[in-house]
């Protein structure tokens, strides 16, 4: 999200995320002649141990998690397996025409604005 939208007090973090989105596109163009594909997975809020630690530091972890999930268009966090499956898809040699792709695995967070 921070690569695409302005968030306060996140300038450096946002710049780094923007670079992560731009780098595979430039690399894909650079390596076309060598038949090297370059793609990127752009995950949304993913249910990881880091998120668990953040939630556990709040006064009401269950309430904090519910609020975080409610902000996701699909109503839940992305699973690590879903991110891994996207990587497997992009890495598969049978996807030979997929290059220069930034694949959002974010439950619609970057592209859907829905009322919950």
In this structure, are residues 3 and 110 in contact, taking their beta carbons and an 8 Å threshold?
A: no
CA distance 40 to 24: 6
What's the DSSP call for residue 79?
E
| Catalytic member of 13, 15, 18, 88 | 13
| 89 is known as an active-site residue | no
Kindly compute the dihedral angle of the four CA atoms of residues 78, 79, 85, 87, in this order, to the nearest 10 degrees.
70
CA distance 116 to 107: 14
Q: For residues 41-50, b (16+ Cβ closer than 10 Å) or e, as one string?
A: bbbbbbbeee
What's the DSSP call for residue 63?
H
Q: Which residues are catalytic?
A: 13
């Amino acid at each position: 999200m921070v690569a695409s939208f302005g968030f306060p007090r996140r300038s450096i973090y946002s710049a780094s995320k923007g670079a992560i989105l731009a780098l595979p596109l430039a690399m894909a163009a650079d390596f076309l002649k060598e038949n090297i594909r370059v793609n990127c997975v752009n995950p949304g809020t993913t249910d990881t141990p880091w998120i668990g630690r953040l939630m556990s530091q709040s006064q009401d972890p269950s309430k904090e998690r519910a609020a975080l999930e409610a902000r996701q268009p699909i109503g839940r966090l992305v699973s690590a397996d879903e991110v891994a499956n996207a990587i497997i898809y992009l890495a598969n040699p049978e996807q030979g025409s997929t290059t220069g792709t930034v694949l959002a695995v974010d439950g619609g967070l970057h592209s859907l604005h829905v009322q919950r």
